[in-house]
């Protein structure tokens, strides 16, 4: 992930990716489910990009993945 992202942003991006993959959803599928462009998720997960999720994205992704938005956050602060 891009070095300009904070540790918490990197953690959340990684957690969403892990949960997305465990549900068998592709980047394109999740992007389209969010009503975004086909490259939305790939831009966030790409190491060379600075893209990141906002709170609304995380809430909408939690609905799609059938989990809580809290599942994307670490148990303790960094």
Q: What is the pLDDT of residues 19-52, one digit of tens each?
A: 999 999 999 999 999 999 999 999 999 988 999 9
Mark 20-51 as b/e (b = at least 16 C-beta within 10 Å).
beeeebebeebbeebeeeeebbbbbbeeeeeb
Q: Which domains does the chain have, with CATH numbers?
A: 7-68 (1.10.260.40)
Give mean pLDDT, residues 56-77: 97
Residue 78 has pLDDT above 90, yes or no: no
pTM score, whole prediction: 0.92
Helix ranges (DSSP H) in 3-47: 7-22, 27-33, 40-45
């Amino acid at each position: 992930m891009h070095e300009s992202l904070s540790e918490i942003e990197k953690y959340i991006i990684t957690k969403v990716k892990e949960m997305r993959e465990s549900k068998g959803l592709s980047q394109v599928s999740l992007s389209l489910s969010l009503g975004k462009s086909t490259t939305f998720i790939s831009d966030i997960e790409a190491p060379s990009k600075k893209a990141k999720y906002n709170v609304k994205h995380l809430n909408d992704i939690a609905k799609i993945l059938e989990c809580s938005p809290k599942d994307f956050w670490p148990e303790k602060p960094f």
